[in-house]
């Protein structure tokens, strides 16, 4: 394990351009539950996938918002802060690295840590938009009302969160592939790679055949075979070790 971490540290130090894929495991050290792990909240009630769908939003927007705020714990969102995993990625960028983060996370912690290039593949909890007129509203506005409506004159539609709901189109995939096209290293952290089409991005990197590919996750994934380096260990502990090796 130590030798493998040394090789990973060397690859990260040598690379000028790094594409990073992150999942819920990156935010767990900030106190945000990992919804998709084997112990995650999504396993408790699969009906959440129905309630967090665009179909249910348009069917019953009032009840949708009640469930959405509960499932995503929106009242607590501003209490969460970036952790040392987020800071590690920012540190890579500070060392003159071209680092682009492609994240499944919707909590905004990569931006809060200072990362300058973040693609929010599944959207963000920090904003909602009127589906009728396109006006955007902040999280503060969303939390001020049980059911947030558009305030534009003559509109009044119920706002739709900027999180990608089940059934929504993914709009960031081509942008993510373009980042991988230019990268020398693909670093994947804290994701089970369960969700499609996000889990196609490592396959795209493997197809290109020109990147060093690194997977760091707390448990095995079905995509581990795609990577040159695979670490199954606590992400926080692994990042601390990498940080020491790269000092």
Measured CA to CA, the distance from residue 158 to residue 142 in angstroms comes to: 11
Which residue is catalytic, options 122, 149, 173, 232? 122
Is 157 part of any known ligand binding site? Answer: no
- Please tell me whether 14 is known to bind a ligand: no
Is 122 known to be catalytic?
yes
Alpha-helical segments (H) within the chain: 2-14, 48-51, 54-59, 61-71, 84-94, 109-113, 139-143, 173-182, 201-208, 235-245
Sheet arrangement for strand 98-103: 118-120, 98-103, 17-22, 185-189, 212-217, 229-232
Count CB-CB contacts under 10 A for residue 156: 12
* Angstrom distance (rounded) from CA 158 to CA 151: 10
Q: Is 155 annotated to bind ligand?
A: yes
**Strand 123-129 to strand 160-163: parallel, antiparallel, or no bridges (unpaired)?**
antiparallel
216 labelled binding-site residue: no
Known binding-site positions for Zn(2+): 130, 133, 150, 155
Known binding-site positions: 130, 133, 150, 155
Which active-site residues does the annotation give?
122
């Amino acid at each position: 394990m130590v030798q493998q971490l040394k090789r990973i540290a060397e690859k990260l130090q040598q690379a000028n351009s790094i594409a990073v894929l992150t999942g819920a495991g990156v935010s767990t050290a900030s106190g945000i539950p990992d919804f998709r792990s084997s112990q995650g909240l999504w396993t408790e009630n699969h009906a959440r996938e129905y309630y967090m769908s665009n179909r249910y939003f348009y069917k019953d927007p009032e009840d949708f918002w009640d469930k959405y705020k509960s499932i995503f714990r929106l009242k607590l969102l501003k209490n969460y802060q970036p952790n040392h995993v987020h800071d590690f990625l920012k540190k890579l960028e500070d060392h003159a690295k071209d680092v682009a983060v492609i994240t499944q996370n919707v909590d905004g912690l990569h931006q809060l840590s200072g990362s300058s290039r973040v693609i929010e593949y599944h959207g963000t909890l920090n904003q909602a938009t009127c589906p009728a007129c396109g006006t955007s509203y902040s999280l503060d506005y969303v939390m001020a009302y049980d059911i947030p409506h558009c305030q534009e004159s003559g509109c009044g539609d119920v706002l739709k969160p900027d999180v990608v709901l089940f059934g929504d189109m993914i709009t960031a995939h081509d942008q993510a592939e373009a980042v991988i096209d230019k990268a020398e290293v693909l670093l994947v952290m804290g994701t089970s790679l369960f969700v499609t089409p996000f889990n196609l991005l490592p396959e795209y990197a493997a197809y290109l055949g020109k990147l060093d590919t690194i997977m760091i996750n707390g448990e095995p994934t079905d995509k581990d075979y795609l990577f040159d380096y695979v670490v199954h260990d606590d992400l926080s502990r692994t990042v601390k070790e990498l940080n020491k090796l790269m000092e």
